[in-house]
Structure formats: C-alpha cells, structure tokens
C-alpha cells in the first residue's frame, strides 16, 4: 500500500495558482505531513489524491496502479475532513457503517464492524447518538473511525485539528498517531501547523507557491533546513545576511562569525542561520574565550525584549547591526552571548 505522486502538475481553471511537478511517495505505515502557508498548494495535493480534482500532467499511483482518472468513490481512500463532515441525519454507528453499506455488507455485519471500530476510538458507548450531540474532539474520533472502517488503501487528513481547542489538539494528535500506527496505513496529513507536523509525522514536506521546497524527517527539517524559508517556517530562527570573508570566517550584518565554510569560497553571499536555543548567554565574569575547543563567535548588546515563558525565557538582544534571538533557562541578566561554530549553518543567500 503505497501512495505516489509522479511529476504531478495541476492549475485551477482560469487561475495561475496550483501545484507544479510534484513527486512524492508515502510508504506503508508511513505518515507524511505536508505543511505550507495558505495558498501554497498543500490542500490541492490532498484533493488530487482524494480524486476531487484530476492532474493536468503526471500520474497519481496507488499500489502501482494509475488512479489519476478514477472518481473518488473508486479510490478506496479514507478522508478525514477539516469539519469532519459527519452526516447529521445518521447516528454515529450509521455514519461509520455507511462505507460498508454502499459496499453491500449485510446489516448485521456492518453494525458489528462499525461498533468495533467505534470501540477502537473510544466512542462505542455513544453509538446511537447523532453527530450534533458530540463535541469537536468526539466528532474527530468518529470521523477517523468512519475513514478507516472499510480498510482503505490510504488515510488522508485535511487539517484535522484546526477546528479544535488548543488544549485538545495535543491529545487528539496523539490519538490520531496511535490509531494510524495500529492500522499500519499510509497516511497523508495536510496542515498549516508546523508543530503538529513535526510531532507526529515520519516525514514532512514543505510547500511554497505550489512547489516542494524540502522533504525530510522532522529532525532533518529542523536542524538542516534547505533554505531560509524552511528555517523560518519550521520553528524559531535567527537569519542574518552575510558574506564569506575567508576560510572559516563569515562577515554578517551583526559582525563576524567563526564557522565551517566548507563548500563555499570567499566572497560568496550566504544567510547565517542559528536556532535561538543554540545561542548561549555568557556571564559577565566569564573571560571572553572560555577555553572551549571550538571557536565561538561573541556578541554583546542590550536586552530589547525579555519574555518569561515558564521553563525558558525568550530574549531579543539588540546588538550593533541587528537583533539576536535566544532562548535560555538561565534566570540571570544577559548582556553577552556566544554562538558555537557547530550551531551555525550557512544557507543560500536570499
């Protein structure tokens, strides 16, 4: 059970937006998340797989079979919609049994399978209720059960958590992951919430203007973003414009950095990228070069903003030429920071 996009392009009639030459593969049991700003084309990706639109070029392949021309009802894919789309006139078990009903499963069997499935998402005791009696999280569970009850070839989740309260989101996202792992089904998750994607996906694809910018594991995306856009979209980051001055030294708008410049020559324009938690505060008493083996870049300035977030503080340090964002669990005043060479990555210049 693999889901594949092969060089797929699609533009909406009379518009220039769409997606361009996308190739993706989701293996059995794998959860691929697609993230991107609104209008980036991520919803189109889902619609193409579900069969709501057909590609202009390229193929959609499920298990080595080209399904590009098949209607949604012939594709056997479970879809969980943003607003769940539970049928308001059917009881919960009837909602879950519906895909079995249209496949001609006898009433007794489809009822028992529906109840079974409702049990797997913890909703069996509400089987005779109508959807209107349910909270958002409960509707979500039923929608998940309905999308999985007919053993689909893939599971498609369209912003599944966006309609829920923040407190419920974490719980539901773990629930989705649990059910997905238990059924071992290839899953496509479309979301604008990068935290949601990083926390449950095996692989994350970042979309921008209809094109795939980067695809990788959450860790790859966070630690080695392909460019400034990904770095800025996934997590918090410091991004400074600069130029390679000599081997191991980059001159930037806020001063010079000691870092690895391999693969780049002096004079190359680069973007210097550092995660805020990798910026280390330096105590005033500490001597400037504190005996570390690795060379570090040092900066001093004044605190522009100091946000207390419980376990950490998020500080903006104003230095000559710009701003350094850092996160620290230290409670002391911060005036100087150092950035170890291995915390710095050079990205293509904007």
Partner 1 sequence: MSVRASRKALAAFALPGCITLGLFFLLPVGAVMSGALTDGGAFVRLVNDPVFWNGLKGTLVLGTAAPLFSLIVGFCIALTLARLAPKARTAALIAISLPLTFSGLIVAYGFILLLGRAGFVTLLLAKLGFDPAVIGGFIFSPFGLGLAYSYYLVPRVVLIVLPAISNFDRNQLIAARSLGAGAGRALIDVMLPQIAPSLVAAFCLTSAVAVGAYGTALALVGTQVNILPLVLYSKISETGTDLPAASAASLVLIAICVLIISLGEAVGRKGGASKVTRQN
Partner 2 sequence: MPIVAIAYFLFLFAPVLLLALGSFGESWSNTLLPTGFTWRWYEEVAADPSFRRAFVTSLQIVGITCVLNVLVGLPLAYAIQVGAKGGVRLAARLVTLLPVAVPDLVLAFGFILVFSSDQLPWLGSFWLLAAGHLVLTLPYTVTALVADMEQLRLDEYEHAAATLGASFFARIRDIVFPLLGPSLVSSMLTVAALSIGEFQLSNLIAGFLSRPYPVVLLQAFYGATGFACAATIVLLLLAAIASLASSLTSRLSNNKKAAAA
E strands, 100-182, where? 154-158
Going by C-alpha positions, the residue among 149, 49, 45 that lies closest to residue 96 is 149
Please give the radius of gyration of the chain, using alpha carbons only, rounded to the nearest integer. 25
Site string for partner 1, 26-65 (x = CB under 8 A): -------------------------xxxx-----------
10 Å CB burial of residue 340 (0-12, 13-18, 19+) is middle
Q: Please, which residue, 103 or 219, has the CB nearer to partner 2?
A: 103
Within 70-109, which residues bind partner 1 (CB under 8 A)?
Answer: 71-72
Structure tokens at 12: 């909406």
Q: What is the DSSP letter of 270?
A: E
Q: Please, which residue, 52 or 320, has the CB nearer to partner 1?
A: 52
Strand-pairing partners, residue 102, are: none
Decide if residue 52 touches partner 2 (CB under 8 A).
yes
Q: Please, which residue, 56 or 128, has the CB nearer to partner 1?
A: 56
What is the nearest approach in angstroms of partner 2 to the Cβ of residue 337? 51
What is the nearest approach in angstroms of partner 1 to the Cβ of residue 268? 49
* Residues near partner 1 (CB under 8 A), total: 6
Interface residue with partner 2, options 7, 28, 39, 72 (CB under 8 A): 72
CB neighbour burial string for 221-230, b if at least 16 within 10 angstroms, e if fewer:
bbeebbbbbb
Residue 85 partner contact from partner 1, partner 2, none using kind-dependent CB cut-offs of 5 to 8 Å: partner 2
Place of tokens 């918090």: 236
Q: How far apart are CA 276 and CA 264, in angstroms?
A: 24
Residues in contact with partner 2 by CB under 8 A are 50-52, 71-73, 75-79, 81, 83, 85, 87-89, 98-99, 101-103, 130-132, 146-147, 150, 156
């Amino acid at each position: 059970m693999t889901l594949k996009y092969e060089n797929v392009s699609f533009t909406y009639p009379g518009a220039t937006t769409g997606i361009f030459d996308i190739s993706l593969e989701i293996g059995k049991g794998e959860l691929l998340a697609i993230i991107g700003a609104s209008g980036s084309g991520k919803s189109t990706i889902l619609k193409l797989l579900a069969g709501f639109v057909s590609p202009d070029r390229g193929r959609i392949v499920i298990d080595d079979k080209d399904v590009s021309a098949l209607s949604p009802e012939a594709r056997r894919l479970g879809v969980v919609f943003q607003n769940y789309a539970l049928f308001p006139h059917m009881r919960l078990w009837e909602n879950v049994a519906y895909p079995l009903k249209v496949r001609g499963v006898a009433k007794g069997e489809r009822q028992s399978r529906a109840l079974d499935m409702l049990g797997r998402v913890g909703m069996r005791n509400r089987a005779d209720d109508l959807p209107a009696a349910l909270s958002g999280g409960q509707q979500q569970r039923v929608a998940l059960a309905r999308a999985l009850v007919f053993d689909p070839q893939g599971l498609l989740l369209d912003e599944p958590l966006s309609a829920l309260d923040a407190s419920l989101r974490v719980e539901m996202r773990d629930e989705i992951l649990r059910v997905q792992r238990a059924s071992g089904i290839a899953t496509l998750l479309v979301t604008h919430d990068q935290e949601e994607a990083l926390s449950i996906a095996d692989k994350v694809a970042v979309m921008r203007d209809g094109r795939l910018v980067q695809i990788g594991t959450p860790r790859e995306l966070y630690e080695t973003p392909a460019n400034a856009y990904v770095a800025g979209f996934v997590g918090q980051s410091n991004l400074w414009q600069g130029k390679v001055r000599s081997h191991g030294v980059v001159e930037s708008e806020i001063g010079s950095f000691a870092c690895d410049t391999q693969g780049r020559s002096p004079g190359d324009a680069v973007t210097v990228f550092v995660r805020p938690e990798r910026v280390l505060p330096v105590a005033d008493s500490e001597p400037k070069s504190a005996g570390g083996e690795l060379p570090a870049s040092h900066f001093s300035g004044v605190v522009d903003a100091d946000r207390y977030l419980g376990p950490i503080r998020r500080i903006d340090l104003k230095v000559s030429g710009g701003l350094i964002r850092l996160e620290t669990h230290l409670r002391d005043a911060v005036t100087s920071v150092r950035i170890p060479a291995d915390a710095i990555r050079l990205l293509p210049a904007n």
